[in-house]
Amino acid sequence: MAYFDAASAAPLHPVARQALSASLDEGWADPARLYREGRRARMLLDASREAAAEAVGCRADEVVFTSSGTRAVHRGVAGALAGRRRVGHHLIVSSVEHSSVLHSAEAFEADGGTVTRVAVDRAGAVDPAGYAAALRPDTALACLQSANHEVGTAQPVAEVAEVCRAAGVPLLVDAAQSLGWGPVEGDWSLLAASAHKWGGPSGVGLLVVRKGVRFAAQGPVDERESGRAPGFENIPAIVAAVASLRAVRAEAAQEAVRLRGLTERIRARVPELVPDVEVVGDAVRRLPGIVTFSCLYVDGEALLHELDRAGFSVSSGSSCTSSTLTPSHVLKAMGVLSEGNVRVSLPPGTAEADVERFLEVLPGAVAGVREKLGAPAPVTRGGREELLVDSLGKRCPIPVIELAKVFGRVPVGGTVRVLSDDEAARLDIPAWCEMRGQEYVGEEPAERGTAYLVRRVS
């Protein structure tokens, strides 16, 4: 079985396993106690904090260990906003942030705050000018991920940090996906990360708050972790997390070159092997191990099952794999195709042979799913220059499949009107037009659902 979902959770690094086992006998006691066992535990905790600070590029007393990366984000956002509440109640985030940041933003809005969501381009990157335009006198905090978790696009953190610093606004960076590859550049103010993203054990997060940043911890506090992350520290897991971070960093430069070569191979060959595919994310400014593509006329869940049966573990941002039947907020913000979406995220050590086998298996898996969805479209003739496709009650990718099947029946200049009540159609039909070089006219309200108009231009 080839595990290609490291962006969700990387396999436990051998160094993490060794450190966890070794520290179970030494790090079980309360590090706040002065007796021998407590002192041993404190030494392990302090050494881990020093090593984490070195990896991040900050002071040891700026590092706090939390129970997860999500908790680090929640504590960081809430504490920074509360610390600057006299400045104002305005928060800036990008539209492609991890759900932990977006959920924090929603909670802030529900409590009376205002949030500006900065748009991204079709590659998933923000423009620093977008953050500059969003800044206001009452802006308390800005947030930006270092690299996107779904498409791998690296964000211009240093440039955005400079813009925010000039305005006196702290920037919180979600570095969960990138910290294993190297420190985050720029004059950022707060940082959050998660150990299971770089091969450490789950249940360990990092929160860094630079000296001079106004911060007021929210909720009940105690004497542990500077009052910013209450609760008994899981010292063996913390030791393993930091040990694995140091280990992957030592291997990062060489492994990044190797994995980047493998993902570039996937990016280049998938469109050659599979027709009607859109490879998404920035082709250059990206993480080494992530490549994402979307296949027209494919049910994402069915494709993932086919690949799983073939021995490959991958993930998807397709609405077809979601219980909410809505496409990934990242793909939606980028304006790219969401149906049949596949994210391949290679863990360090991935064998070249596994990537080659994936490229051999993928065309057949996609073709098989497409064949199963190949029923003729129910079509009603409209006027001479227009066809009506009734896809009400059908989920992705059926509306787009039915559009494609009848599109050739209208002359150049003619239109196809697609009726759909699937939220994914609002994204996938314009994305189909972009891929096929046709004109997306827009949408109109219908008696049921929405009518999406497409004009044939070639």
Strand, helix or coil for residue 270: helix
What phi and psi values does residue 386 have, to the nearest 5 degrees? Answer: -145, 140
| Two structure tokens written together for 136 | 């206001």
Pairing label, strands 205-209, 450-455:
unpaired
Active site residues: 320
Residue 187: what are its φ and ψ, rounded to 5°?
Answer: -95, 60
Tokens (6 digits) for 451: 């009518």
Q: For residues 314 and 303, what is the distance between their CA atoms, to the nearest angstrom?
A: 10
Alpha-carbon span 284 to 294, nearest angstrom: 19
The Cα 79–Cα 76 span in angstroms is: 5
**Sign, CA torsion 52/57/58/59:** positive
DSSP code, position 219: S
Query: What's the rounded Cα separation, in Å, for the pair 248 and 12?
Result: 11
CA 328 – CA 404 distance, rounded (Å) = 23
CA distance linking residue 65 with residue 82, whole number of Å: 20
Token readout for 15 is 């160094």
Query: Locate tokens 């898996």: which residue?
Result: 365
Question: What's the distance, CA 109 to chain centroid?
Answer: 22
Identify the sign of the CA torsion 230, 232, 235, 237: negative
Per DSSP, 187 falls in state -
Token pair, residue 38, equals 């407590």
Which of 144, 427, 442 has its CA nearest to residue 280?
427
